[in-house]
Structure formats: structure tokens, C-alpha cells
């Protein structure tokens, strides 16, 4: 029997505020999980920086296939945990592996906490949503008085892995079909988030880490982005045109990320981390 996934709560996050949901992409868990361990490492690093209060109510926003949710359940086994994602395929995969969690299908921009959260955790999801100036304060308002917001977002959009997607889109016969998917860099500089969130926080940590992923196989950077950012472009095209688009993009990537003599490809990837405590840190010890 397939595990049940609860329908999402589609109320807005705060009165008068509505933030658009994630794109209606068809996520492919198998493609995404080709690089499951390097994708999971930032989630582990984020979790390690959460200290203090023992959360009773946890929300994992953009939980995907549930890899990070399992880490949350392992650390806080008595907590009530809700994994939220807009992809039925990802949630079905998650429910098979972690049956003790409540799984909710919902666009993150429409999500609203049923009750104040002790911990809102989000690993590599909130960059899909626009207007962080509204989004992140709304999440802080969803916290309990001693709650914690912990999030990680990719900040690699100026790297060739992402700029070459735009170059490929604009250079081929598919331009008219794909160009509207291009948008400005979705994640701002760390200083923006400090100015936005520090006035709302009892304590806040913001840092960046650049991971050097050592990948193997043919065109591994293309295969990486195909599991996430590239997928929205591919699904707009028919099978033959999508194949030509992928080939053109992969050709451009080979110069930026050359295949090394030892058979590996090095892929630097920068990520932004935020851990915000609503209460003064001394109150959560």
C-alpha cells in the first residue's frame, strides 16, 4: 500500500500576504538522488548548527525525498514533524522511507503553520520562491516565542553551471519557448538577509560555504543541474528538442568544468546558511 500524503494547507502565510508557490515542475527523485550524498551534506552542516531548545513541533519546508527529514527525526525522535513539498513523486519516495512523519503536499508559498513552530527547517528550497523580503519575515512570524528558523539556499547562480543555462537558452531555436523561465538571481548577498532578519531575531548566524564536489561520470555537472534547476527548461521541450538542448548545454559545460586525468570533474558550489533564534540565545539553553 502506498503511504498517504496529506493535502496541503493553502492559507497564506500571513494576513494580506501571498507569495507565489514553487514552479509546477515534475520532479524526478531518481535524477535528483544521483548525487544524494553531496546534496545532503549541507543539510547535515545546517542541522549541526542548531542548538538550544528541544523542538516539539518541526516543519521541514521543501523536504523533497525526505533525506534531511530523516535526520531531523533521528535527532528529535519525540518531536512532531511535518515534511512539506509540492512534488507528489518526492513525497511518495519520502513516505516510503520515513513513515513516522506527516507528509504534506503544498506549494511552499501557500504554506501556513497550523500552530506556532518550534523549528522551521529548510534545505535548498526557498530559492525557488520570490520576494524574500516578505517570505522570510513571514516565516519568523510563524515561530513560537523560542522558535528557530534554520535554512540553506544555493548561492551559485553566478557560476557557469547556471549562467550557461541562460546562454544555451538564448542561443538556440528554443529561445521563444524557454526565455520566460530565466529570472534574476533568486538569492541575495548575506548582508541583505542580516539587515532583513536581525531586527526580528534574538540571535542570528549567517554564513556561506563553498563545497568542492568531486564528481564522476559523463557530463556530471549537467546531470547535477538536470535534477534541479535545469529540469524546468527540459520539460518545456519535446523529447527530440530537449535532447539537443541538453547536448548544447553539456558542450558548454565541458570547458568550464573539464574532465580531469583521474576521471573526476570538480564542481565548486556556494551555499548560504541562516540560523535565527527568535528568543535571546540565553533563554534556549
Domains held by the chain: number? 1
Tell me whether residue 227 is in a domain: no
Q: Could you write out the three-class secondary structure of 156-202? A: CCCCHHHHHHHHHHHHCCCHHHHHHHCCCCCCCCHHHHHHHHHHHCC
Query: Distance between CA atoms of 175 and 231, rounded to whole angstroms?
Result: 16
Query: Distance between CA atoms of 139 and 121, rounded to whole angstroms?
Result: 10
Tell me whether residue 161 is in a domain: no
Tell me whether residue 166 is in a domain: no
Does the pLDDT value for residue 178 go beyond 70?
Answer: yes
Tell me whether residue 119 is in a domain: yes
Among 14-28, 89-103, 203-217, where is mean pLDDT lowest? 14-28
CA neighbours within 13 Å on the CB side: how many for 80? 8
> Can you give the pLDDT at residue 2?
36
Tell me whether residue 268 is in a domain: yes
Does the pLDDT value for residue 82 go beyond 70?
Answer: yes
What pLDDT digit, counting tens, does each position of 141-163 carry? 999 999 999 999 999 999 999 99
A 10 A CB-CB count for 51 gives 11
Closest CA to 227 of 84, 219, 196: 219
Tell me whether residue 40 is in a domain: yes
Closest CA to 22 of 109, 92, 84: 109
- pTM flag (> 0.95): no
Mean pLDDT of 117-121: 97
Tell me whether residue 246 is in a domain: no
Strands of the chain, DSSP E:
6-7, 57-61, 80-85, 102-105, 117-123, 143-154, 203-216, 264-277
Query: Distance between CA atoms of 153 and 233, rounded to whole angstroms?
Result: 20
Does the pLDDT value for residue 8 go beyond 70?
Answer: no
> Can you give the pLDDT at residue 7?
47
> CA 283 → CA 52, 70, 80, 142, 217, distances in Å?
8, 27, 22, 19, 49
Look-up: residue for cell 519525540? 78
Mean pLDDT of the chain: 88
> Can you give the pLDDT at residue 31?
67
Write the CATH number for 82. 3.40.50.150
What pLDDT digit, counting tens, does each position of 37-70 carry? 888 999 999 999 998 779 999 999 999 889 999 9
Mean pLDDT of 110-138: 94
Does the pLDDT value for residue 126 go beyond 60?
Answer: yes
> Can you give the pLDDT at residue 111?
92
Percent of the chain with pLDDT over 90: 73
The separation between CA 156 and the C-alpha centre of its own chain, rounded to angstroms, equals: 13
> Can you give the pLDDT at residue 39?
87
> Can you give the pLDDT at residue 24?
55
Query: Distance between CA atoms of 23 and 51, rounded to whole angstroms?
Result: 33
Tell me whether residue 175 is in a domain: no
Could you tell me the residue range of the domain that residue 264 belongs to?
A: 6-156+180-212+259-284
Amino acid at each position: 500500500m502506498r503511504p498517504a500524503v496529506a493535502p496541503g494547507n493553502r492559507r497564506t502565510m500571513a494576513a494580506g500576504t501571498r507569495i507565489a508557490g514553487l514552479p509546477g515542475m515534475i520532479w524526478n527523485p531518481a535524477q535528483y538522488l544521483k548525487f544524494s550524498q553531496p546534496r545532503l551534506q549541507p543539510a547535515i552542516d545546517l542541522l549541526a548548527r542548531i542548538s538550544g531548545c528541544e523542538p516539539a513541533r518541526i516543519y521541514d519546508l521543501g523536504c523533497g525525498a525526505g533525506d534531511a527529514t530523516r535526520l531531523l527525526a533521528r535527532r528529535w525522535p519525540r518531536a512532531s514533524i511535518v515534511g512539506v513539498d509540492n512534488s507528489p513523486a518526492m513525497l511518495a519516495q519520502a513516505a516510503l522511507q520515513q513513515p513516522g512523519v506527516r507528509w504534506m503536499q503544498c506549494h511552499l508559498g501557500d504554506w501556513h503553520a497550523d500552530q506556532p513552530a518550534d523549528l522551521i527547517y529548510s534545505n535548498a528550497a526557498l530559492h525557488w520562491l520570490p520576494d524574500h523580503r516578505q517570505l522570510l519575515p513571514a516565516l519568523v512570524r510563524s515561530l513560537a516565542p523560542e522558535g528557530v528558523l534554520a535554512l540553506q539556499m544555493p548561492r551559485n547562480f553566478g557560476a557557469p553551471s547556471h549562467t550557461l543555462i541562460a546562454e544555451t537558452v538564448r542561443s538556440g531555436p528554443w529561445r521563444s519557448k524557454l526565455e520566460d523561465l530565466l529570472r534574476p538571481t533568486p538569492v541575495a548577498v548575506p548582508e541583505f538577509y542580516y539587515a532583513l532578519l536581525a531586527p526580528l531575531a534574538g540571535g542570528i548566524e549567517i554564513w556561506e560555504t563553498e563545497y568542492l564536489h568531486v564528481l564522476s561520470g559523463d557530463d556530471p555537472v549537467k546531470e547535477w543541474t538536470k535534477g534541479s534547476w535545469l529540469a524546468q527548461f527540459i520539460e518545456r521541450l519535446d523529447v527530440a528538442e530537449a535532447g539537443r538542448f541538453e547536448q548544447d548545454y553539456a558542450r558548454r559545460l565541458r570547458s568550464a568544468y573539464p574532465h580531469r586525468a583521474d576521471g573526476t570533474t570538480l564542481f565548486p558550489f556556494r551555499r548560504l546558511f541562516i540560523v535565527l533564534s527568535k528568543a535571546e540565545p540565553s533563554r534556549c539553553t
